[in-house]
Amino acid sequence: MSDKEFKRKVYLQDKPRKQAKDELIEALKLIPEIETVPTKVALGRVTALPIFANLSMPHYHASAMDGIAVRAEDTYEAHEHRPLHLKKNEQFIYVDTGNPIPNEFNAVIMVEDLQEIDDETVEIIVPATPWQNIRPVGEDVVCGEMILPQGHSLRPVDLGALLAGGVQELPVIKKPRVAILPTGNELVQPGSTMKPGDIIEFNGTVFASFVQEWGGEPLLSDIVVDNPKHIRQAIEKAVDEADMIIINAGSSAGSKDYTVHVISELGKVYTHGIATRPGKPVILGEVKGKPIIGVPGYPVSAYLALEWFLRPLVYHYQGIEEPKRETLKVRLGRRVVSNMGAEDFVRMNVGFVNGEFIANPLTRAAGVTMSMVRADGILVVSPDSQGLEQGEEVEIELYKPLEAIQKGVLFTGSHDLSIDIVSSLLRKKDVNRQIISSHVGSLAGIMAIRKGETHVTGIHLLDPETQVYNLPYVEKYLSGQDVVIIPFLKREQGWIVPKGNPLNIKTIEDIVEKGAAYVNRQRGAGTRILFDSLLTKHSLTAEQIQGYEREMFSHLSVAAEVKEKENSVGLGVYSAASTMGLDFIPVADESYDLVMTKSFFDSEGGKLFLEVIQSDEFIHTVEHLGGYKTVRDQTPKFLNN
């Protein structure tokens, strides 16, 4: 078949995930191979047969203590009031722990229970019982006894028992070899010089690492060019070398999505399209009896699909149960909408607030790798649900240890680089005490405190009437709540412009007059409120600002956007400009303060948090960024009316 003969396939199935998996496992009779490996390097491998001891351990009667070997019968007369003397080499010999016990003796008396009279004589006052303090032959392992059953994943202690039982090598299931084929003309190897349209090939490494984690052996191939001929060749080679094949991507309906056609030409396609979001365009098939899985290109879809279909195969091949993740009951901090007819997999952040686990959905975009890095767990919403309400109790699968979630500090509010510094210093004090931050802007941060969804927020909200920062907003929106305001930083806000300030922007009027492309912040962000109040002050309107509608969610995203465009300008903090190598023209000094719930303030985590922000190391690091002054008087204000 040539390129042109491939028709564009646009219709995907919506097969239930479990059905698709069961059909695949059912269709393929995976026959594992067996190999012999040295016991010393067998950690994590799975026994292919029951393993029996070749030796007894110990293989002789051994002293269990340091002391003397005796005949118990010779000691029966010993008594507290009638000490008994024993003669060396006739009635006893000295032994150390582990020494063989000569045939004529049958008990050991510990050195602590002896009185040495002279070089040849000891005195005892308690008789010995036969076989006391002796490890009989085979006390640990008896020759011929089964040390381990078949299908057992070897742990460090198992290796010890095997070696003790004289097993120096053993039959294990061969690691299933998984060929990983990254395809796509846009892909380049990490470290290449990038031009627009290039994408770093990173999925392959993630897949290979998962395969290793699950006990398989990854065979990561070079990038395969997107055409049927090369894809076909790559699959044929992979089928010869591996037990399972992963092909990424081209699983969907694009004009270059050849994968499904090549698989059906070379073998069979069982499924194309499953009822999940994300991850829908998965292909499940076989070539020459080997499973082949086409996973979508988008990283999140790809990793989930790998877990749904490859993980069971890898474990099934090894003949062991797939380990289950811990689950946790949580209350939803926000509503989660869902597709009817498909399972939704929603990445979640979880925090322990006011004695309850509160979970909030992260971005649903399938291209955001960082959402997998940040996720504390995943919520699976069933196909017959239209969504779950705020406050509803649900169960999620955990991606992180419970302790880390329990100790995590939730920060929801306006992003500032100093919060990342607090996070790393906090972690230095306690590895489990990290900041889980959502950058939602100042007002949304205040609302999160109000709804009990966060421990801390960072805000910089100028009240246009009083020209006072923050306090008026806290009093307005958090009245009646137990919160603590901590004066935190003074920071410079200014115009972030490309290096050299090509449009020579100095004032807000310049943005209008020079037709600069403005990079705005989202509604409710302190920087947005500052910009809007500058507009009002200079009698300008939003319509006069080019780009006003496009909203970014952090200072750094504004700076990243400015870096992309010669004629652009944004409003943000100095540190964001300098991090991106951009110029900065100061506009205003503002107060960025922290608000925390009283219960967090009083908690262990709150105390550590305060210790960190008052530390010399923190103050020094923040001031070194430039554009900041830390507030020396961080006296907390309690709001409780």
Ligand X SMILES: Nc1nc2c(c(=O)[nH]1)N[C@H]1C(S)=C(S)[C@@H](COP(=O)(O)OP(=O)(O)OC[C@H]3O[C@@H](n4cnc5c(N)ncnc54)[C@H](O)[C@@H]3O)O[C@H]1N2
Q: Which residues make up the interface to ligand MOO (CB under 6 A)?
A: 277-281, 296, 298, 301, 366
> Is 257 a binder of ligand X (CB under 6 A)?
yes
Of 366, 405, 446, 625, the residue at the interface with ligand X (CB under 6 A) is 366
The smaller minimum CB distance to ligand MOO, of residues 301 and 437, is found at 301
| Least distance to ligand X, CB of residue 438, Å | 25
Phi, psi of 338 (to 5 degrees): -150, 155
| Least distance to ligand X, CB of residue 298, Å | 4
The smaller minimum CB distance to ligand MOO, of residues 308 and 315, is found at 308
Q: Which of 123, 118, 109, 30 is nearest to 64 (CA)?
A: 109
DSSP-based three-state secondary structure for 344: strand
Task: Give buried/exposed letters for 314-335 (b at 16+ CB in 10 A, else e).
Answer: bbbbbbbeeeeeeebebbbbbe
The smaller minimum CB distance to ligand X, of residues 206 and 631, is found at 206
State which H helix or E strand residue 20 sits in. helix 17-27
DSSP-based three-state secondary structure for 209: helix
| Least distance to ligand X, CB of residue 369, Å | 8
Q: Which of 141, 128, 64, 133 is nearest to 96 (CA)?
A: 64
Interface region with ligand X, contact rule CB under 6 A, candidates 214-222, 295-303, 471-479, 598-606:
295-303
Among ligand MOO, ligand X, none, what binds residue 286 when CB lies within 5 to 8 Å by partner kind?
none
> Is 498 a binder of ligand X (CB under 6 A)?
no
The smaller minimum CB distance to ligand X, of residues 91 and 276, is found at 276
Cβ–Cβ < 8 Å for 131, 108: no
Task: Give buried/exposed letters for 382-403 (b at 16+ CB in 10 A, else e).
Answer: ebeeeebeeeeebebebbbeee
Among ligand MOO, ligand X, none, what binds residue 376 when CB lies within 5 to 8 Å by partner kind?
none
Cβ–Cβ < 8 Å for 51, 167: yes
> Is 248 a binder of ligand X (CB under 6 A)?
yes
Cα gap 201→206, rounded to integer Å = 10
> Is 572 a binder of ligand X (CB under 6 A)?
no
Of 296, 351, 361, 413, the residue at the interface with ligand X (CB under 6 A) is 296
| Least distance to ligand X, CB of residue 12, Å | 6
Kindly report the CA angle at 116 between 114 and 121, in degrees rounded to 5?
A: 105
The smaller minimum CB distance to ligand MOO, of residues 251 and 360, is found at 251
How far is CA 521 from each of CA 72, 437, 447, 565, rounded to the nearest angstrom?
A: 89, 18, 18, 17
- Chain Cα centroid distance, residue 39: 31
| Least distance to ligand X, CB of residue 365, Å | 10
Among ligand MOO, ligand X, none, what binds residue 127 when CB lies within 5 to 8 Å by partner kind?
none
| Least distance to ligand X, CB of residue 551, Å | 23
At position 546, the amino acid (one-letter code) is Q
Maximum Cα–Cα distance across the chain: 113
> Is 250 a binder of ligand X (CB under 6 A)?
yes
Task: Give buried/exposed letters for 249-284 (b at 16+ CB in 10 A, else e).
Answer: bbbbeeebbbbbbbbebbbebbbbbbbbbbbbbbbb
Range 176-205, binding ligand X (CB under 6 A)? 182, 184, 186-187, 199, 201-204
Interface region with ligand X, contact rule CB under 6 A, candidates 136-144, 278-286, 395-403, 556-564:
278-286
| Least distance to ligand MOO, CB of residue 261, Å | 19
The smaller minimum CB distance to ligand X, of residues 216 and 250, is found at 250
The smaller minimum CB distance to ligand X, of residues 167 and 342, is found at 342
> Is 285 a binder of ligand X (CB under 6 A)?
no
The smaller minimum CB distance to ligand MOO, of residues 12 and 262, is found at 12
| Least distance to ligand MOO, CB of residue 277, Å | 6
| Least distance to ligand X, CB of residue 341, Å | 14
For every residue of 119-148, DSSP letters joined together read TTEEEESSPPPTTTTEE-TTSSB-TT-EEE
Among ligand X, ligand MOO, none, what binds residue 297 when CB lies within 5 to 8 Å by partner kind?
ligand X
Range 2-31, binding ligand X (CB under 6 A)? 12
| Least distance to ligand X, CB of residue 228, Å | 14
Residue nearest to ligand X (CB): 297
The smaller minimum CB distance to ligand X, of residues 75 and 203, is found at 203
Range 204-223, binding ligand X (CB under 6 A)? 204
* Ramachandran category for residue 131: left, alpha or beta (phi over 0 → left; psi -120 to 50 → alpha): left
| Least distance to ligand MOO, CB of residue 301, Å | 3
Cα gap 9→11, rounded to integer Å = 6
State which H helix or E strand residue 421 sits in. helix 417-429
Among ligand MOO, ligand X, none, what binds residue 361 when CB lies within 5 to 8 Å by partner kind?
none
At position 240, the amino acid (one-letter code) is D
Q: Which of 434, 307, 272, 451 is nearest to 378 (CA)?
A: 307
| Least distance to ligand X, CB of residue 301, Å | 4
Of 301, 438, 457, 527, the residue at the interface with ligand X (CB under 6 A) is 301
> Is 278 a binder of ligand X (CB under 6 A)?
yes
> Is 412 a binder of ligand X (CB under 6 A)?
no
The smaller minimum CB distance to ligand MOO, of residues 165 and 279, is found at 279
Among ligand MOO, ligand X, none, what binds residue 248 when CB lies within 5 to 8 Å by partner kind?
ligand X
Among ligand X, ligand MOO, none, what binds residue 253 when CB lies within 5 to 8 Å by partner kind?
ligand X
> Is 371 a binder of ligand X (CB under 6 A)?
no
Site size toward ligand X (CB under 6 A) is 26
For every residue of 455-515, DSSP letters joined together read SEEEE--B-TTT--BSHHHHHHHSTTS-EEEEEEEEEEEEEEE-TT-TT---SHHHHHHTT
Q: Which of 574, 587, 556, 583 is nearest to 629 (CA)?
A: 574
Cα gap 174→162, rounded to integer Å = 19
For binding to ligand X (CB under 6 A), which residues are involved? 12, 182, 184, 186-187, 199, 201-204, 248-254, 257, 278, 280-281, 296-298, 301, 366
